[in-house]
Chain A
């Protein structure tokens, strides 16, 4: 059975490209674009890995991450944060909130694939 990744991102063309490369690599990719309901989406169908954009409509990725880390059910879920802002403070904030990895846009496809494999344990 294919392994599942949840991509929480609101940019349709990024969703399409990332979904394509992950699907081609054998992952089942679920997508979600709304920040406000993202935590419920994770709880309803827990994936093996979450790719979480920092800037989302409805709720920021940082808030979502914080709530995921406060819940015992999702505390250890690997979360890779994506951000278009590469400032040190965003990185520090993401890592202090418990992000498993932090990646700045624009990223390379190979980098995304490598990281997803690493974080999901192969």
Chain B
């Protein structure tokens, strides 16, 4: 079904649904807009197209905005509802009607479905942690081992059979030693399982670091200048609500930050960016490598660099480091991200600067100007493995038609499960909801 045809059909359904909601007879509506009831019937049943004055007249009588009839409910909201419906065997066709008639309730359902998905991902993460965390595994093993020794030994002592004094003394000592071990390993286990907070218990260390950096605006004034007020370790130690693992992730991030700040002083970068807002040109002018400049541009204070910026970096396994979202848009860590983001292409072409306009699906899908580059870390010794990495700076397009035209456009997505593009060569798995021709 073509886009126009589908829109017309949905327009007719929306008119009919609204008319019935208002308790208005087909004849009455037809009279009020100056057409015959049979013609209105054809419109409502997808046999005649509607537009122009007639659309406006019907919209006025039905007390709707003409665009609401022509385009329907918010496409993104419908998409989220359909994604939720697909998991519960609810007819997808009702999503648009629900979104159009009860947008508030529809928004609530969509938000709760998204929340459930997030919580499920966190539960999966926790389950994975329980299954594979070496600290937990070691503590559990010690508890069970001590319990085994105590149970078996106590059973011998209380078994009713005579034991000589030496054996008795020996088994008592063993039980005492094992009880001490049990107490210690139980305490460690309890400490491990104790949530650091109720609301963020399920967050990973990277999630916590990202939250901290978001609060800081990804800029750390204490690490700026020739004589910074604090060291990276001091900043990491002072960061609130972080567990040791998150603190270590943050410390590493801060060490890199300080090195970048030292190599690219704030005023120098800000001045260069004001003169020409092009990362490659700025890197050349300042004589620094592109990955460092991309990182630096993502950590400047407001007014010193790009107005809106996102940043993400990954290693060869595709694992993402602390991300900075651009208006809420970033690459997925929980679900597999779309491999068409230039970040991943940069991994395979170390040293080549890539600039791409990445377009998200949908008519209102965001278009992001991406600058990506890959490089290979080596060392610290000759025998160490090479470690490919890539970084990507994401900027909002700022109406520069001239620039936009020169930069290739690429269609990316939110990851296969949520992406509606059916003809995508990079698709790994089917989407949660059937592909909508008008969502591409």
**Contact call B178/A13, Cβ cutoff below 8 A:** yes
- How far is A109 from B157 in the complex, measured between Cα atoms in Å? 12
**Contact call B174/A24, Cβ cutoff below 8 A:** no
- How far is A66 from B167 in the complex, measured between Cα atoms in Å? 37
- Given A24-B161, A84-B141, A85-B141, answer yes or no on A106-B153 (Cβ-Cβ < 8 Å): no
Among B142-150, B223-231, B345-353, the stretch that binds chain A is: B142-150
A114 interface residue (CB < 8 Å to B)? no
B156 interface residue (CB < 8 Å to A)? yes
Distance from A94 Cβ to chain B, minimum over Cβ atoms (Å): 16
Contact of B144 among A20, A106, A109 (CB under 8 A): A106
By a CB distance below 8 angstroms, the chain A residues around B178 are 13
By a CB distance below 8 angstroms, the chain B residues around A45 are none
Q: Give the interface size class of chain A.
A: 10 to 19
Q: Which residue of B lies closest to A110 (CB)?
A: B155
B48 interface residue (CB < 8 Å to A)? no
B151 interface residue (CB < 8 Å to A)? yes
Contact of B149 among A13, A24, A55, A108 (CB under 8 A): A13
**Contact call B155/A109, Cβ cutoff below 8 A:** yes
**Contact call A13/B174, Cβ cutoff below 8 A:** yes
Q: Which residue of A lies closest to B161 (CB)?
A: A24
Contact of B152 among A21, A24, A84 (CB under 8 A): A21
**Contact call B153/A17, Cβ cutoff below 8 A:** yes
**Contact call B156/A109, Cβ cutoff below 8 A:** yes
For this complex, 5 residue pairs linking A to B, each with C-beta atoms less than 8 Å apart, are A11-B145, A17-B171, A84-B148, A106-B148, A112-B152
B-side residues, CB < 8 A to A, are 137, 140-141, 144-145, 147-153, 155-156, 159, 161, 167, 170-171, 174, 177-178
A-side residues, CB < 8 A to B, are 11, 13-14, 16-18, 20-21, 24, 55, 84-85, 105-109, 112
- With A16-B171, A16-B174, A106-B144 known, 4 other A-B pairs at CB within 8 A are A11-B145, A13-B178, A85-B137, A106-B147
